[in-house]
A and B are shown apart, each in its own frame.
Chain A
């Protein structure tokens, strides 16, 4: 019997449910890869921190888009709320990082819960428009409330206290990098537990067949609102991290463009697979750092082309392609 056939015989559906949450060695790869840049590319550490932060942001989007199947163009609203919360706290004399993140998470999560309760009744274009209009309205509000947010000039005067009272945020972004990596690691454990839990499975069920989930008695809307709020919390933390590590907040944290960009990065990596965020965000941001500097116009063109190609030929993004390549190789083996 060929080895993969034996594997298939051994993994019954029940077994796969029991074992799917076990840690595979490959899953530790991102955490190995995160270490060398600290020494190797120390001039790029600010970019590295931003990548880690955007991975966290994409991870939170994956929860609602990939697992719960809610298409949103307004996820940057929560990122921006988190950034402004952490930034405004630090600019007004409370520069303690961890409690600042907690406040960012609380504000974003509360907003996520309330707006989720209101808008998740809708579907299709209406839902899409509501998410879009919320991020635009918040952006406009931040723009007009210059006394609080700094308006179009951006929020300045953020002064962070040392992390845990020990590590100062340095000019080269070393502390920021380690801080972002640590937060992302904790978030990853949390998200991984969620998606493999019965709650996470029920979300996938809602995405695949909402009628059947209603029929077997799943409280669909409650589940959707819960995951929407959880994703908002994580996005708020990501935004707070960005404000704290860059020590500035601009209006661009909370735009339709940022919502779109994070969607594109996630899609590039692969939606609904937990690791799409870890692949898509670095690929996009490193390419952007290199290509966009040459010519931002062509960068737009390549992003657009990539989206069209992914949708037409490579649904599942980079990880989807890897999967298919692996299937080909495995099947060819005698």
Chain B
């Protein structure tokens, strides 16, 4: 009995930490896809870039862990603005196939570039001492790093919620997601809005990639290996919402941890089957706005 409880607690704990990473990386994808209807399969590239910024600045310049997280966010957001203005913006009116092919092409090039610059092996993360070890709580030990992930995740969710629900910028984003033409006729510059949202979303992906570098190892194959999970979070959660991807990330993170621990012989099959079922049940996602 006690053992079953211990397993349940550890599934919930590990799953929630994993879900936070998935959410931080994917939420930007959900908002930008909802805003512009752009099929972006290269989103994982930004997460990988954040992971590299974090691990390389720590290893080569001795930047401490927390500042390197901030760097990951800022650098990736800045890079993504260039990508959005120079490349993505050309394809907003294009068909679904063009967008899919274009972003797969970008992901391939990023994979090759990462391998060229940093080599094929995954980056080692030197966690600071205060994130190593365990925290004792109710007689159980919890790894500090994962507790940290959950705390940061909750903080980011609160900040995002405030930004989207309580600021003018957020109101503009919500208006543009609901009805882009109407928002434009009210004088909202949706092009600029999208660039900002894209930068924010990509920056968050970079932050997520950096935060999760110990769970999802940063190596050149990263953008495609984890793409499916990022897309599942977005598709199951629903485009253009903040709450949907969070619920989807929790389901996926906890479900995936449960599968790995309880029924390793079925593996990911269960995750894919449930995803298919959820998409059949709610084609627009759990909290889709369309």
Q: Which of A's residues lie within 8 Å of B, judged by CB?
A: 65, 71, 73, 118-119, 121-122, 124-126, 128-130, 132-134, 136-137, 140-141, 143-144, 256-257, 260, 263-264, 267, 271, 297-298, 300-301, 303-308, 310-312, 315
Contact = CB atoms under 8 A, between A and B. Distances in A.
Contact of A133 (B104, B224, B275): B275
> Main SS of chain A's interface residues?
helix
Contacts of B106: 304, 308
15 contacts: A65-B97, A71-B97, A122-B283, A125-B39, A125-B239, A126-B235, A126-B279, A132-B228, A136-B268, A260-B104, A298-B112, A303-B105, A303-B108, A307-B108, A308-B102
B33 interface: yes
B284 interface: yes
Interface centre among A73, A136, A141 (most CB of B within 10 A): A136
B273 interface: yes
Contacts of A118: 280
Contacts of B232: 129, 133
A91 B80 CA distance: 51
Interface centre among A65, A130, A140, A307 (most CB of B within 10 A): A307
Given A124-B39, A125-B33, A304-B106, 16 more contacts: A125-B231, A125-B235, A125-B239, A128-B96, A129-B275, A130-B280, A132-B228, A136-B268, A137-B273, A144-B265, A263-B101, A267-B101, A301-B116, A303-B108, A311-B91, A311-B102
B105 A308 contact: yes
Contacts of A305: 105, 109
A207 to B, nearest CB: 10
Nearest to A315: B98
Contacts of B39: 124-125, 128
B107 interface: yes
> Main SS of chain B's interface residues?
helix
B243 interface: no
Contact of B101 (A137, A256, A297, A311): A311
Contacts of A311: 91, 94, 98, 101-102, 105
A302 to B, nearest CB: 8
B113 interface: yes
Contact of B266 (A71, A73, A134, A144): A144
Interface in B244-280: 265-269, 272-273, 275-276, 279-280
Interface of B: 33, 37, 39, 87, 90-91, 94, 96-98, 100-102, 104-113, 115-116, 224, 228, 231-232, 234-235, 239, 265-269, 272-273, 275-276, 279-280, 283-285
A331 to B, nearest CB: 27
Contact of A304 (B105, B115, B285): B105
A126 B283 contact: yes
A211 B8 CA distance: 51
B108 A134 contact: no
Interface centre among B94, B97, B269 (most CB of A within 10 A): B97
A310 B276 contact: no
Nearest to A257: B224
B273 A297 contact: no
B107 A304 contact: yes
A158 B68 CA distance: 54
A306 B108 CA distance: 10
A301 B239 contact: no
B170 to A, nearest CB: 23
Contacts of A308: 87, 102, 105-106, 109
Contact of B37 (A121, A124, A126, A128): A124
Contacts of B112: 297-298, 300-301, 304
Interface centre among A271, A305, A308 (most CB of B within 10 A): A308
Given A125-B39, A311-B105, A140 B272 contact: yes
Contacts of A124: 37, 39, 96
B290 to A, nearest CB: 9
